[in-house]
Amino acid sequence: MKSFDAIVIGGGQAGPFLAARMVEKGMKVALIERKFLGGTCVNAGCMPTKTLVASARAAYVARNSAVYGVNIPGEIAIDMKVVRARAETVTMNARNGLIGWFAGMDGMTVIYGHARFEDPKTVSVNGETLTAPRIFLNVGARPVIPDLPGINDIDYLTSTSIIHLDTLPRHLAVIGGSYIGLEFAQMYRRFGTEVSVIEHGPKLASREDEDISDAIADVLRSEGIDIHTGVSDIAFARSSDGITVATDSARIDASHVLIATGRKPNTDDLGLDAAGVISDKHGYITVDDRLATNVDGIWALGDCNGHGAFTHTSYNDFEIAAANLLDGADRKLSSRILAYALYIDPPLGRVGMTEKQARASGRKIMISTRPMSRVGRANERGETKGFMKVIADAETKKILGAAILGIEGDEVIHGIIDAMNAGTTYPALQWSVPIHPTVSELIPTVLGDLKPV
Smallest CA-to-CA distance from 9 within 140, 138, 142, 141 is with 138
Specify whether the CB–CB gap between 255 and 155 falls below 8 A.
no
**Which residue in the list 114, 164, 256, 436 is annotated as catalytic?**
436
Beta-ladder partners of 42 = none
DSSP character string of 251-262: EEEESEEEE-S-
Q: 242 Cβ partners below 8 Å, 6+ apart?
A: 170, 171, 253, 254, 255, 256
Smallest CA-to-CA distance from 367 within 321, 399, 332, 330 is with 399
CA distance 49 to 84: 10
Give the ranges where 276-406 is alpha helix by DSSP (H): 311-326, 355-360, 376-381
CA distance 303 to 313: 8
Strand pairing report for 298-300 and 365-371: unpaired
CA distances from 31 to 11, 290, 442 (A): 7, 21, 46
Strand pairing report for 387-393 and 399-405: antiparallel
Dihedral angle at the C-alpha atoms of 372, 205, 172, 45, nearest 10 degrees? 90
Respond yes or no: is residue 114 known to be catalytic: no
DSSP character string of 124-150: EETTEEEE-SEEEE---EEE-----TT
Q: Which residues are catalytic?
A: 436
